[in-house]
Each structure stands twice: as structure tokens, then as C-alpha cells.
Amino acid sequence: MEALGLLLHGFAVLLTWKTLVLMMVGLVLGIFVGVLPGLGGPNGVAILLPLTFTMDPTSAIVMLSCIYWGALFGGAITSILFNIPGEAWSVATTFDGYPMAQQGRAAEALTAAFTSSFVGSLVAVLLITFLAPMISSFALKFGPPEFFAVYLLTFCSFVGLGREAKHKTVISMSLGLLLAGIGMDTVSGNLRMTFGSPELLRGINFLVAVIGLFGISEILLTMEERLALRGHAAGISLRVVLGVWKDLPKYWVTLLRSSFIGCWLGITPGGAIAASFMGYNLAKRFAKESESFGKGRIEGVFAPETAAHASGTSALLPMLALGIPGSGTAAILLGGLMVWGLNPGPLLFVEHKDFVWGLIASMYLGNVVGLVLVLTTVPIFASILRVPFAAVAPMIVVSCAIGAYAIQNAMFDIWLMLGFGVVGYVFKKIGIPLAPFTLALVLGNRAEDAFRLSMIGSGGTLKVFWSNGLVGSITTLAILLLFWPVIDNLLGRVGLTHGTRATSP
Amino acid sequence: MKLVRIPVKAVGAATALLLSTPAFAGWEPTKPVEIVVAAGAGGASDQMARMMQAAIQKNNLMKQPMVVSLKGGASGAEALMYMKSSEGDPNKVLIAYSLIYMLPLSAKIPFNWRELTPVSVVALDQFVLWDNSAGPKTVKEFVAAAKAASAPFKMGGTGSKREDHVLTVFLEQKTGAKFSYLPYKSGGEAATQLVGNHTEANVNNPSENLEVWRAGQVRPLCVFDRERISYTTKVTDTQSWADIPTCKEEGVDVQYLMLRAMFLPGKVTPEQQAFYVDLFHKVTQTAEYKDYMEKQALKPIFLTGKDMVQFLEEDDALNKSLMTEAGFVAK
């Protein structure tokens, strides 16, 4: 119960008019940077970081973390309205969120996204509050084999649980893995596939690819099909919000499952993106009529958003306790902490109690205030869809281009984005799923490094992936998921299929 | 529109006038200055850049703001190519370390530090041999344990064919022990992997292992320098940086110091160069800098002009011979 006392103390530190105003300012700024694709959380926090140098540490960090929460909320908006993920972990939100918006249910989808974000972060914050010390020691258990097992699990769940034809998923994933190999190879220290071009040294940035694959290709498709945004007749009122909330208890299994996955992957450094995909895939697997996923099902928004925010929030824990940022935005936040002489590490929780508990208290407050704030903006954002396509499309393209450029200040990235736009268009035409491609692009490098480090460490034997309970169970689960369709089929013959499905209400 | 335009022009003219009147110093930046970091977030370079950003802003050393821009792609090669292509742009400063010598050799990056404009060397960074606090207590025991190990004895580090890797190779040559070198993406990762017992040791900079040392999770075995670190303030309950023996004292004669230096892109004017020499000289006088040097156990140094170039040439030759001997130079 020591935690509770400290938390109350944290609230006491925060509840001044000044901090509350800073909190609001931070949230609003965060939502705006979250809405611009590519500009996103990391850049937004980086731009605003120097603003806080003149404040006292607690106010500064409260404002910065509120920008972070704001960006987390904001990322969902463009995913749902325009099929353009603002942050890497919003990709899975587009799968059902965008179809919902097209059916005129934009407000419903946005409400669902914001509410589940709130639920996800709340669960994660509760976890941080009471289990912080335990969790950081769990994160220390992750060496190269464990990391590889987690990435393997993500890849396998995609192949095994995906709705699309397996060979198309594998093709898409392989192409992503291939492109992920471009640039410097950390393990050998050599350059790969750069063909002497300095532009390719950096490798292919994941967000540039995503903006092109999802955003630009969608514009191309819309231009071909109808020259209008669908879903402009969106009903917008408090009733929509209440309606979604009334249905919320029905989805408690999905929410709980996604929160769990999110927290688990969030404290595994670098797992935040994998979380949203896995949350989505598992929700699809365990739902009745899983065919309707991808066609505008509300659970398809709940699942990835809850997981993404649970992981986005719990990612702050390895950052504070171990100094390893779980996401790009967390990395910039880390830089901000250091300016204040708050060096992340095991002693931060002991030596800077005021700060740590102030931050944790700001997670609670920031999320509540943030939810209210974003819900009030739903009508504004949803009404964007009423603007004629001819006026919105150029604005989307320009903001995509700015986003792609801003990530690394490189003109080359804008061409790359346009190139990926065409690739995305072709993929959609021939029915190759985009998600496995983006997943492989973002996790490919890490998976490869983790695999090769495991091999160096073990002297080249694959047994290392079953060398202890943790890594062994993850690897086994991964392989089970990979062959899930076969296993499901076999179980079906024995008449057990309904047993697995009964776990969802 | 016209009404709006006139005042804008007037302001423009006024600024131009202000700029053309020579103030006490010659040139001054007119745009925000970008401090380019050739490493990822949270690493030693990033921390140093943030310290400088804060020191400059808090002490009003420059009218324009300074922004940190992380260009750690391709193990830092991204930053080097970025500086190379920014010829003549006086609003970008690179915070460099030994990668300026090593990357062109190991990965054949078309880069030569002589194409940039040297500003000043601001610090020298140490390397320390660390092991898990549950591991061997002295260098002797450590070497014996490495020799006796049946499975690969794992040494963590940052990047491949770089300073950490070179040190590992020389440690092998001097002790006769065999290590499996695991290249991680950052010093922070190498530190946590050591704490989690996934590696046996690492050769991190003091700053990268400071927090886990204070928490009693790792143990410093020796420092790779001719003399001990000078800071005698207690860092942990019982030890200060000065309490760490040199590796030579412990019978392993390996030394390596790494520069931390500032560079401008090529082809900037001498006035622009002079402004930054003066700026970073002022930075080294601030309380923030001094505090940072002690906390991170960096060796203070300030070299500029001819002295700096001479230092760089000697350092380059030394790094080249180390890289060649370790077999890390690409053919």
C-alpha cells in the first residue's frame, strides 16, 4: 500500500492550476501533432522539448508526457478518417476503422478508438503503479533469444491467423523482410543493398513506407473509383458516444485480452508496434463470424487500440527503470529527462520519488482529461469527411509529403513515399495484403539481429530457443500459431473446434 | 495583400540593417542551429548534445535556439553523409567521436573528416571493463573465468567493427582468452543485457553504465587508460571513479581514449568557424558542462585550430593501425 500513498502524494504535486493548464496545452498540442501523419509523436515532442527548458522539472515532464498522450490519441484520427496511420501502431486501427468511416460510422469508430485507448492505458498505468519493480525485473529476462521468440510469435500469428490466402501473406512478408535489409547491418558492420547511394544508407523508414502504402494508395483508389469521400452523412451527437459506451461491457474479453497483450509487449522493449497487430489478430481469431473483420467491425477498432495504448503506456516503464525507450516518442522523452538530470535507471524510483510519482499521477489525469478533450473533438474531426474530396485530397497529399519529409529531413523520402503509394495501389488491386509487408519492414531488422546474436551467443545451435521456460514457451506458441489452420482442422475432425471458440462470449 | 506586404518588407529591411551593422563579434547564426548527433536517442552523444543545448540556452550564449537532430541511421553514417552534403551551411554542428575514422575504413563510407571544418575537441571519453556484480571480482579472475568457460564467453558492445569491438579484440590478444562479441544497437542496451546476465561483460563508456553501477548491478574491473580517472567524489556508496584501477595496473596493457569533438560542414567562412570556437569555449566554462564532465567521468580537454588538427591526424593514424591490426578494414 506504499504505492497508494506515494500516488496520492503525486496527485498533490500535480493538482495546481498551473500544471493543469500545462496539461491541457500539452494534450491539445499532442493531438495536433498526432493527427499529422509522419510528424507524429517523436517529432512533435522533439520540437516542443526546448519549450520546457524554462519550466521546473515536474511541470516540464507533465507537459511533455501530455504531448505524448495527446499524440497517442491523435494517431487514431487519421487512421480512421483517411486510412493514413499517424503512428506506426495505428496501422492495425485502419483495418476496421476506415471501413467504418466509409459506412458513415466515423463518429462511432472514433469514439471506440478513444475509449479503448483510455481503457488500455488505464490498465497499463494500474500495472505500473502496483507492479513496477516486478515488471522491470521481468524485462531484464529478455536476451536475444527471447526477443527473437517474441518477433517470431508476431510473424507466425500473422501467417497462421490471417484471413488472407497464406501464400499472399508470405509473399508480402518476404518483400517487407527484403526491404528491411537495406542499409547498415549492425551485426557485421557492413552496408547491404545500398548500391553506393548515400540516400539508401539510412535504410527504408517504416513511416515513409506506411504513409505511401496506406495514405497515397488510398487517394489513388478513390480517384479511380468515385472522386468523393464516403461516409459524409455521419450522425454526430452525444448519443453515438453513449451508444458505444453502452455496448462496451459486451467486449470485455477483447478489451482485457488486448490490454494484457499490450502490457506484456510494451514492457518488452520495442514491442509496442507488434502489440497492436497481435491484439487485432487474436480478436479476429477468437470472434464469432471472423469473416466480418476488415469490413467495419467495432471490435476491430477496440482490439488494436487497446493493445497499442496499453503498450504505449507500459513502454514508459522500461524507459524509466532501464533507460531503454520502447518507442520513438519514448526515446525523445528520455532525452528530455536527461536534460533535467533525471537519469533513467534502477535508482530513479528511489532517488526521485517526487518526479516518478508525479509522472505516474499525470498518466491518470492526462488520460482522463485527454479522453474528455478528444471526445469533444470527435464531431469536428468527423465532419472533415463532409468536405468535398477535391478540397481534401490535395491537403492530405501535402500533409503526407510534409510528414514523409519531416521524419528525416530528406527529399528522397518524398519520392520513396510516392513510390510506395504506387506499390500499395498495385498490391490492393492484386489482393496482396499490406499489413504483413509493413510488419516485416518494421520488425525485420530487429528479428534478424536478435536471431544472429542468439546464434553467436549459443555457438550456432537452435536449441537456444528452448533453453529456458520463458523462451521455450514463446517459441512453441509461435510454432503452434503458425500451423494453427492445420491444427484447427485436425481438432475439427475430432469434434473439438467449438471448444476453442467458446472462450469468447 | 499589399497592406500586409509592406510591414513585412519593412521588418525584413530592419533585420537586414541590424545584421549588417558589425556588432562586437563578426558572424552570428541567423537561423536555429542544428546539433547533429551520430547516434541513437539516449546514447552518450545524445546526452552530451542535450547538455550543450541546455547550457547554451540557460546561459544565453547564443541568440538563436539550438535543436538536437538525431541522425543515428546506418550506425551513424547517416550523420556523416548529412554533414558532408551540407557544405557551406554554418547552421549545422556535428558532435563527432571515433566513428569519423572507423566507419570509412570498415564500411567504406565515402567520408573523410578532413572535408569538414574542425571547431574544437571538447572531451575525451574513457572505456571501462565491466562485469555483472555476481561475476568475477578482479581482472585476473575474469580472465581465468573466460579461459575456463566451455560455452562462448559473451562480450557485449555497441556496433560491429567499432571501438568496443576493437577493444575486445585487443583484450583477446593481450590475455589469450576468447570472447564472443555481441554487437548491440546502443550502449544502454549493452548495459541492460549485462545486468540481465545475457552477456558476461562489456566495455561501455562510464556514462553508459553509470546508473546500473550505482544500483550495484555491475562491477567496474579496470579502465583502459594510462592513468586512473581523476574524479574522487563517491559515485556508489563505497567507490569513486578514481578507485577503478587501470587495466595496466591489473596486468592487461590495453589503452584507448575516444574523442568528443565538434565539426562544421566544409567550406564555411573563418568568421563562422571563429564564432563556434568561441561558443564551445564558453560552453566548456559553464557549470552545466563541468558538472556533466564529472558525472560522466569524461576527461576535460579543449583543443582548437592547429592543435586540434594535429591531434586529429595522430588519432586517425592510431585508429587506422588498430583497425588494420584487428582485421576490420574492408578490402
Cα four-point dihedral sign B42, A71, A252, A300: negative
User: In chain A, which among 132-161 make CB contacts under 8 A with chain B?
Assistant: 140-144
Average pLDDT over residues A54-78: 79
pLDDT tens, position by position, B8-33: 444 444 444 444 444 445 899 999 99
Same fold, B30-125+258-326 and B128-243: yes
Grid coordinates in use for A103? 459506412
In Å, how far is A481's CA from the nearest CA of chain B?
27
CATH number for the domain whose boundaries are B30-125+258-326: 3.40.190.150
pLDDT of residue A502: 39
Question: Which range in A208-212, A293-297, B272-276 is most confidently predicted, on average pLDDT?
Answer: B272-276
The span from the CA of A144 to the CA of B196, in Å, is 11
Question: Could you tell me the CA-to-CA distances from A306 to A15, A364, A379, A491, B307 in Å, in that order?
Answer: 27, 16, 22, 31, 58
Tell me the mean pLDDT in the region A253-277: 80
Q: Of A108-112, A349-353, B309-313, B321-325, which gets the smallest average pLDDT?
A: A349-353
CB contact, 8 Å: A458 with chain B? yes
Give the number of C-alpha atoms closer than 13 A to the C-alpha of residue B96, restricted to the C-beta side.
30
In B, which residues are within 8 Å of A202 by CB distance? 73-74, 78
- Give the separation between CA A16 and CA A200, rounded to whole angstroms: 49
Q: Is A457 on the interface with B (CB under 8 A)?
A: yes
Structural contact between residues B227 and B246, judged by C-beta atoms closer than 8 angstroms: yes
Contact flag B65-A324 (C-beta cutoff 8 Å): no
- Which residues in chain B (245-284) have CB-CB distances under 8 A to chain A? none
The per-residue pLDDT for A472 is 94
Q: What is the pLDDT of residues A100-127, one digit of tens each?
A: 888 888 888 888 999 998 999 899 988 8
The more confidently predicted of residues A309 and B276 is B276
More confident residue, B240 or A326: B240
* B50 vs B118, more confident: B118
* ipTM score over 0.95, yes or no: no
Lowest model confidence (mean pLDDT) among A128-142, A208-222, B224-238: A128-142
Q: Domain locations in chain B?
A: 30-125+258-326, 128-243
Contacts of residue B67 in chain A, CB cutoff 8 Å? 46, 50
Output the CA angle B264-B270-B272, nearest 5 degrees: 55
Q: Model confidence at B218, in pLDDT bands (50, 70, 90)?
A: very high
- For A343, nearest residue in chain B (alpha carbons): B211
pLDDT class of B203 with cuts at 50, 70, 90: very high
Task: Please give the residue of chain B at the shortest CA–CA distance from A350.
Answer: B215
Q: How far is CA A183 from CA A115, A328, B72, B197, in A?
A: 39, 19, 12, 30
Phi, psi angles (nearest 5°) of residue A148: -60, -40
**pLDDT higher than 90, residue A23:** no
Residue A234 has a CB neighbour count (10 Å cut-off) of: 22
First to last CA, chain A: 35
Judged against a pLDDT cut of 60, whether residue A233 lies above it is answered with no
Average pLDDT over residues A193-216: 85
How distant is the Cα of B154 from the closest Cα of chain A, in angstroms?
A: 6
Q: Which of A355, A357, A324, A359 is nearest to A342 (CA)?
A: A355
Q: Cβ atoms within 10 A of the Cβ of B321, count?
A: 10
Cα–Cα distance for residue pair B284/B301, rounded to 1 Å: 9
- Residue A372, CA atoms < 13 Å, CB-side half-sphere: 7
A406 has a pLDDT exceeding 50: yes
Contacts of A144 in chain B (CB under 8 A): 182, 198
Cα of A474 to nearest chain B Cα, Å: 18
**Count of pairs with CB atoms under 8 A, one residue in A, one in B:** 145
pLDDT at A488 > cutoff 50? yes
User: Parallel, antiparallel, or unpaired: how do β-strands B299-303 and B180-184 relate?
Assistant: unpaired
The rounded Cα B158 to chain-centroid distance in angstroms is: 12
Where on the phi/psi map is residue B328: left (φ > 0), alpha (ψ -120 to 50), or beta?
alpha
Among the partner residues B42, B69, B180, nearest to A331 by beta-carbon distance: B42
B61 in contact with A, Cβ within 8 Å: no
Report yes or no: A131 and A263 within 8 Å, Cβ to Cβ. Answer: no
Position with higher pLDDT, B148 vs B25: B148
- Mean of per-residue pLDDT scores for chain B: 89
Is residue A46 predicted with pLDDT exceeding 60? Answer: yes
A134 pLDDT higher than 80:
no
> Higher confidence at residue B321 or residue A485?
B321
Residue A36's region, left for phi above 0, alpha for psi from -120 to 50, else beta, is beta
Q: Which of A106, A56, A113, A121 is nearest to A90 (CA)?
A: A113
CB B84 within 8 A of CB B112: no
Give the model's pLDDT for residue B147: 95
What mean pLDDT is predicted for residues B281-290?
95
Judged by DSSP in three states, B234 sits in strand
CB neighbours (10 Å) of residue A485?
Answer: 14
Q: Over the stretch B111-133, which tens digit does the pLDDT of each residue have?
A: 999 999 999 999 999 999 999 99
Please determine, for residue B90, whether its predicted confidence score (pLDDT) is greater than 60. yes
Confidence at residue A328, expressed as pLDDT on a 0 to 100 scale: 65
Cα–Cα dist B53/B48, whole Å: 9
The reported pTM is 0.83
- Tell which wins on pLDDT, B146 or A6: B146
CB contact (8 A) between residue B185 and residue A186: yes
Residues of chain B in contact with residue A452, where contact means CB-CB under 8 angstroms, are none
Residue A92, pLDDT score: 86
Higher pLDDT, A333 or A365: A365
User: What's the number of domains chain A is made of?
Assistant: 1
The pLDDT-based confidence of A326 (bands split at 50, 70, 90) is low
Helical residues (DSSP H) of A383-434, grouped into ranges: 389-408, 411-430
A348 residue type, one letter: L
Q: Where are the alpha helices (DSSP H) in A140-203?
A: 144-161, 166-180
Q: Is the pLDDT of residue A498 over 60?
A: no
Q: Residue A416 — very low, low, confident or very high, per pLDDT cuts 50/70/90?
A: very high
Residue A65: domain span: 2-501
Of B276, B300, B280, nearest to B290 (Cα)? B300
Report helix, strand or coil for B77: helix
Q: Domain B128-243: which topology?
A: D-Maltodextrin-Binding Protein; domain 2 (3.40.190)
Nearest to A35 by CA among A67, A78, A81: A78
B310: its cell numbers: 594535429
Nearest CA in chain A to B85: A198
Cross-chain CB nearest to B50 (options A141, A191, A339): A339
Considering only A43-57, A99-113, B86-100, B259-273, which range has the smallest mean pLDDT?
A: A43-57
User: B46 vs A449: CB contact, 8 Å cut-off?
Assistant: no
Best to test chain A binding among B211, B218, B323 (most A CBs inside 10 Å)? B211
Task: Enter the C-alpha cell of residue A1.
Answer: 500500500
Q: What is the pLDDT of residues B55-89, one digit of tens each?
A: 998 899 999 988 888 888 888 999 999 999 999 99
User: Is the predicted pLDDT of residue A54 greater than 60, yes or no?
Assistant: yes
Report the alpha-carbon distance of residue B155 to residue A459 in Å, rounded: 14
Look up cell 477483447; give the residue: A254
Who wins on pLDDT, A232 or B31? Answer: B31
Mean pLDDT across B134-163: 93
To the nearest whole angstrom, how far is the Cα of B78 from the nearest Cα of chain A? 6
User: C-alpha grid cell for residue A377?
Assistant: 473533438
Mutate to test the interface with B, among A56, A186, A320 (most CBs of B within 10 A): A186
